Amino acid sequence: MDAPKIHTSYWMETYGCQMNTAESNALEAALQAAGMKPAKSAEEADCAILNTCSVRKTAENRIWGRIGFFQHLKETRKMTLVVTGCMAERLGEEFLREAPAVDHVMGTNDKQRIAALLSGGSDERDVRYTFTESYHKEGDVKSYVPIMNGCNNFCTYCIVPYVRGREISRSPQSIFDEIDRLEQSGVREITLLGQNVNSYDFTWQGNSLRFPDLLADIASRVDSVRWIRFESPHPKDFSDELIQVIAREPAVAKHLHIPVQSGSSKILGLMNRRYDRERYVQLISKLRSAVPTVTLTTDAMVGFPGESEEDFLQTLSLMEEIRFLEAFMYYFNPREGTKAVEMPDQLPAEVRMERLQRLITLQRSITHAHKMQRCAGKTEVLVEQVSKRSATEYLGRTEHDEMVVFKPRANVAVGEFVPVALQGLVGNTYNAEHLV
């Protein structure tokens, strides 16, 4: 039997959600601890790892395209190709049958095996999901911190529960320890991650620690971390207690992403979202009453099976009523293995596309109006990097996740919070004056 090959360099590609990004960061830490170094390009690496997404068909199509690229690359040089993540979990050994360029397929619970496999170590499988700490690159001022994984909701259009498994919460102490380490390394903003982050529940010291308690505990512990964010919460689990924590704790950013998906109660029922339009609107009203400065973003889907023109108009009217700062908008894309694929009254692609364009047009006008209202206002930004376009400009973000470019009038360092006056808008980026 041949000895396992020991790889010295890797190329990582990550697709999909922030959880995949966090897990790729942790995997990079494991690869580098095993003596491997990141390659400057895919063509120079002796192994490539694709951390895949399976939420939408378009994401999977991109992966197949990249596999074709690596198959061509492997015709001219030796390298190992590993496919991991949700698409690997969904398709499994089909990758090996359909794509001869793929050498190893590892699902969502198998990522911890990759470093050992590529560095010549043990390839023993552990079917349990393991939380690992994020890899902090020198100079990073923001970081993701996974606190739970999986989902129990089974929305009829979503494949996440099938590829991520049931909900499992991470121990509070390991979360606290990671945040302490990130603070010491210069991180100034953290985002708590989970497929359904506000369903976090961990039995600790004999008691059930739920998400509002965890968030309050983290807010009381941090010092140099100024902004704590979390994604993505489910509206049905957004409690009054959580709203109180957001309002009370200065460190919790007053900017929230709360997916709505549809403005039609009928469609929300078909989606198995377990809230209706009225309940969602009440939630937003409570939030804005308790936190007047809060800004909101959302996810919205059009073209779900059975969606009538009236249902779609209800989505448009909800977007008008709530006026989100921004929205991620998409049309229903059937995913094999979900209940929605088998539902009657599937809509033609041209109807879904036409409705999506109408929704995008509306939301763009709302976003532009929001941003124009903010011009000439004063705010604070976290300096993230020197602009790639000009060495004399810096890029920063506000508490409300708005991108700002400014020329410093005094010494400024990445990771600092600085006051600026917003002066104009180019695309979705503000020009600002540095206030000293």
For 406, how many CA atoms within 13 A lie in the half-sphere containing its CB?
32
- 151 phi, psi to nearest 5 deg: -155, 140
* CATH code of the domain occupying 142-374: 3.80.30.20
Q: Which residues contact 59 (CB under 8 A, 6 or more apart)?
A: 15, 16, 52, 53, 87
Identify the residue whose tokens are 């941003």.
371
CATH class of 378-434: mainly beta
Q: What is the pLDDT of residue 3?
A: 46
Task: Report helix, strand or coil for 73.
Answer: helix
Q: Which residues contact 139 (CB under 8 A, 6 or more apart)?
A: 186, 414
Q: Is there a shared CATH topology between the 142-374 domain and the 378-434 domain?
A: no
Alpha carbon distance 64, 410 (integer Å): 49
Contact 335, 305 (CB under 8 A): no
In CATH, which superfamily holds the domain spanning 9-118? Answer: Methylthiotransferase, N-terminal domain (3.40.50.12160)
Query: Closest Cα to residue 403, out of 376, 383, 378?
Result: 383
Token readout for 138 is 């020198």
Domain ranges of the chain: 9-118, 142-374, 378-434
Residue count of the chain: 436
Instruction: Sort 19 into a burial class: Cβ within 10 Å, 0-12 / 13-18 / 19+.
Output: buried
Whole-angstrom distance, CA of residue 265 vs CA of residue 278: 8
Whole-model pTM? 0.88
Which pLDDT tens digits describe the chain residue by residue (436 residues)? 344 567 899 999 999 888 888 888 888 888 988 889 999 999 999 999 999 988 877 888 899 999 999 999 999 989 999 999 888 888 888 888 888 899 999 887 777 788 888 877 555 555 556 676 665 677 789 999 999 999 999 999 999 898 888 999 999 999 999 999 999 999 999 999 999 999 999 998 888 999 999 999 999 999 999 999 999 999 999 999 999 999 999 999 999 999 999 999 999 999 999 999 999 999 999 999 999 999 999 999 999 999 999 999 999 999 999 999 999 999 999 888 899 999 999 999 999 999 999 999 999 999 999 999 888 789 999 999 998 888 899 999 999 999 999 999 989 999 999 999 999 998 889 999 999 8
In angstroms, the CA 220 to CA 205 distance is 19
C-alpha to C-alpha distance for 24 and 380, rounded to whole angstroms: 31
Which DSSP string corresponds to 366-396?
HHHHHHHHHTT-EEEEEEEEE-SS-TT-EEE
Euclidean distance between the first and the last CA atom of the chain, given in angstroms as a whole number: 68
CA distance linking residue 331 with residue 57, whole number of Å? 11
